[in-house]
């Protein structure tokens, strides 16, 4: 189960990297007044998720229950920041059919499939990490 969590975490990270790249390449950090995402929100979410992933990989190598729980606890604020971004993104997604304005937020360019997949895999990762930390299923 720990390996399954790693796989879903890596898939989630790939989607997150794509969304981060899209946000940055469309001017997200350069025009924060038009974005619904403050840079601290984006980069905080990224940093906590990356630290958790590194700890999870170390957990898989050394099999320390403490590291599993720390990784899980780190995922909780990552999830909260992710929900915050999702709900800030929704109004932008709903107005996507309008002609793009010069000051359109960078997140307007996020594909729905990537946002949805990122969220789904993130949820599955959170559940798998919790189940692994609880040692459910002999992990």
Dump pLDDT digits (tens) for 86-132. 998 888 877 766 655 666 788 888 899 999 999 999 999 999 999 99
Q: Which tens digits make up the pLDDT trace of 9-48?
A: 999 999 999 999 998 888 887 776 667 888 899 999 999 9
Mean pLDDT of 2-9: 96
Kindly state the tokens that stand for 23: 């946000």
Q: What is the pLDDT of residue 107?
A: 86
More confident call, 8 vs 37 = 8
CA–CA dist 80, 67 (Å, integer)? 21
Band (pLDDT 50/70/90 cuts) for residue 139 is: very low
Q: What is the pLDDT of residue 102?
A: 61
Q: What is the pLDDT of residue 106?
A: 81
Asked if residue 73 has pLDDT above 50, the reply is: yes
Q: What is the pLDDT of residue 100?
A: 58
Q: What is the pLDDT of residue 96?
A: 65
For residue 93, count CB atoms less than 10 angstroms from its CB and return exposed for 0-12, middle for 13-18, buried for 19 or more: middle
Handedness of CA 26, 30, 35, 37 (dihedral sign): positive
- Residue 138 region by backbone torsions, left for phi larger than 0, else alpha for psi between -120 and 50, else beta: left
More confident call, 69 vs 39 = 69
Q: What is the 3-state secondary structure (H, E, C) of the chain?
A: CHHHHHHHHHHHHHHHHHHHHHHHHCCCCCCCCCCCCCHHHHHHHHHHHHHHHHHHHHHHHHCCHHHHHHHHHHHHHHHHHHHHHHHHHHHHHHCCCCCCCCCCCHHHHCCHHHHHHHHHHHHHHHHHHHHHHCCCCCC
Q: Which of 44-53, 57-66, 130-139 has the lowest mean pLDDT?
A: 130-139
Q: What is the pLDDT of residue 97?
A: 61
Q: Residue 59: name the closest of 132, 136, 9 by CA.
A: 132
């Amino acid at each position: 189960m720990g390996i399954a969590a790693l796989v879903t975490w890596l898939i989630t990270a790939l989607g997150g990297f794509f969304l981060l790249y899209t946000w940055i390449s469309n001017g997200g950090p350069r025009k924060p007044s038009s974005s619904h995402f403050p840079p601290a929100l984006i980069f905080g979410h990224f940093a906590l998720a990356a630290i958790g992933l590194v700890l999870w990989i170390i957990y898989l190598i050394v099999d320390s229950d403490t590291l599993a729980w720390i990784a899980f606890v780190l995922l909780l604020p990552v999830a909260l920041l992710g929900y915050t971004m999702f709900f800030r993104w929704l109004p932008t997604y709903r107005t996507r059919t309008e002609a793009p304005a010069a000051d359109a937020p960078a997140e307007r360019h996020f594909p729905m499939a990537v946002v949805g997949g990122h969220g789904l895999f993130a949820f599955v990762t959170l559940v798998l990490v919790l189940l692994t930390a609880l040692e459910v299923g002999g992990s």
